[in-house]
Structure 1
């Protein structure tokens, strides 16, 4: 069978890696459009992918392709009868990936919905459908299938009881943890509600994870989140420029400093970034890694050069209309 996995644009290769770990028999490749991975895999891998993948946001079962929208409607009507014989409500989600046709995504969904209603007698329910059918258009070709994760987006983690006002997407936090590959000790000095340390603990369950922030309300929220899933975080409140941890080293610092948009940096962005790099210089082990998500590319590159860090990797991320970058850095 063939599935489509969507994720944050920029971390598609991490999805490919994770699918390969969960299902070694799978053949995955990055789709032509950003944030999408297609995989062919045996049926017995599907439940494993849906329930255990951390780097994905949604999963779709792909049923076929067609040149014309009417063909898509006919085929989906046949599948709908088989898939929801004991139900009566459906909806259609559509996406126009390329803009070489005038028909919009909403118009595609509406046309397919009408065809299925006429052919099957099923009723449309946008609020409580029994099944969500999926159609996408790209460069003269339609693909169609079934939305498998409509009960809840895969980025919705069970630990998110307290939501930080500038909360990081857990899928992106998980990707950062994989990039850092912490072994024993990790620190996020801008940890907010604890998303990065908690995602890293899902990879390395015995990890000693430090979570600090200048805002004590955020730290209480991180503690609440960690306790909700019985994970231990070492939490403390401190300004990054005056961290009380002097003789403690970690093998990874993974963090998302304030972008300066919704969340302002205490003392200014440059001061916070310089303090972060000084902390990394002092508290990272010899082969340790600093992994940073930032919109301030020039600032990070300037400070890393001035403070003697090598860039081991860069990932361009696009989410919510904003371009940012993940840097993997190591002290020289």
Structure 2
């Protein structure tokens, strides 16, 4: 029987429930706290989470959790943990830290103590007094909250928002994980049209296209364009993700495949594939957005007007947007992320629902206008 580990999937404030649903779709039970979602599973769960979560920023492996209010106790309990099971003799293991409402409030001292304790533990295991730390990085975090210490290893590397397709940035790029969450908070179906009138570098439409077809399918089409693989049903994708018995060999090979694709710069090909087949870009003034037959969803992250020189222009944009939506998109659902508290007044309608979210450090509201039901 494979060993069970505890993991933490970090989440932007306000999106914990979305991350939890994604983890549950993989077949794991969750426990939600502010800014994080915890779950348990075998080592395959860590790999699955890093591959398939669209809205979490990182997946951390919990090494230990304990109460502590002295540096001596922090040292001894940290040293007692099985670090050798995760850090090889050549591994690099920097220590980050944070402390909230705890007796041990000096973060730098906590980092130093934890580092020293891990080194002492590894000395006993590997029978050597010095570690070069020239190999892969195992980033460790000591997090203290009300004298409860949680020690974790980051398993995601650069971060899950770095998908590999973004080479150029707009002036105010939307984080990929937040873009995916904005889409998941809508009532959009994969067979509907999704429009972003303020797409910038295209993050929202690209994330929507990636949801339509799994990354595994996209990579298969890139490597084997004539293989004849069609779309999987949504049920089939869900079933695949819930398979707990996926072999380590298959998953490891797929992770190597992702690295090879990046090394060969084929992620650029993936973006080209998505753009040519699934995404269309055009330029238009807000008050001249082209009408589209049928029902669909508008999802957008327009300018906020936080600077005084932009405020008047943004007010005009919001007003024109509301007028054009009522003219050409009356049967569509509309979702708008903005920090402008006057949005509903300028748009000309009260939202069906609002949700507080954070775009980086900016406090925003996600205004949701649900389409009228067909009679």
Give the TM-score, by structure 2 length: 0.72
Aligned to 2:243: none
Deviation at 1:107, TM superposition (A): 2.8
Bigger Rg, structure 1 or 2: 2
Query: 1:289 is matched with which residue: 317, 325, 333?
Result: 333
2:183 counterpart of 1:177: yes
Deviations 1:21-75 (A, max 9, x none): 122xx221221xx321112234432211111101110111112211225455445
Q: Find the residue that maps to 2:90 and give its secondary structure.
A: coil
2:105 counterpart of 1:103: yes
Aligned to 1:81: 84
Q: List aligned pairs for 1:178-197, cutoff 5 A.
A: 178-183=184-189, 184-197=192-205
Query: 1:255 is matched with which residue: 276, 293, 300?
Result: 300
Q: In structure 1, how many angstroms separate the alpha carbons of the residues matched to 2:25 and 2:328?
A: 32
Higher helix share: 2
The number of residues matched between the two structures is: 303
Aligned to 2:235: none
> Is residue 65–residue 72 contact of structure 1 (8 Å, CA) maintained in 2?
no
2:280 counterpart of 1:240: no
Aligned to 2:55: 55
Unaligned runs of 5+ in 1: 207-222
Cα 1:189–1:265, aligned 2, differ >3 Å: closer, same or farther?
A: farther
Q: In structure 2, how many angstroms separate the alpha carbons of the residues matched to 1:130 and 1:67?
A: 27
Q: In structure 2, how many angstroms separate the alpha carbons of the residues matched to 1:58 and 1:12?
A: 13
Deviation at 1:281, TM superposition (A): 2.1
Q: List aligned pairs for 1:4-153, cutoff 5 A.
A: 4-23=8-27, 26-31=28-33, 34-68=34-68, 69-77=71-79, 78-96=81-99, 98-101=100-103, 103-121=105-123, 123=131, 130-150=137-157, 152-153=158-159
Deviation at 1:227, TM superposition (A): 1.6
Unaligned runs of 5+ in 2: 124-129, 214-230, 232-267
Q: In structure 2, how many angstroms separate the alpha carbons of the residues matched to 1:72 and 1:4?
A: 21
Cα 1:41–1:120, aligned 2, differ >3 Å: closer, same or farther?
A: closer
Aligned to 1:270: 315
Q: In structure 2, how many angstroms separate the alpha carbons of the residues matched to 1:134 and 1:123?
A: 19
Q: In structure 2, how many angstroms separate the alpha carbons of the residues matched to 1:251 and 1:5?
A: 31
Give the TM-score, by structure 1 length: 0.81
Q: In structure 1, how many angstroms separate the alpha carbons of the residues matched to 2:356 and 2:132?
A: 39
Deviation at 1:322, TM superposition (A): 1.7
Deviation at 1:301, TM superposition (A): 2.5
- Give me the CA root mean square deviation: 2.9
Cα 1:310–1:262, aligned 2, differ >3 Å: closer, same or farther?
A: closer
Deviation at 1:104, TM superposition (A): 3.2
Deviation at 1:267, TM superposition (A): 6.6
Higher strand share: 1
Query: 1:166 is matched with which residue: 165, 172, 195?
Result: 172
Cα 1:238–1:180, aligned 2, differ >3 Å: closer, same or farther?
A: same
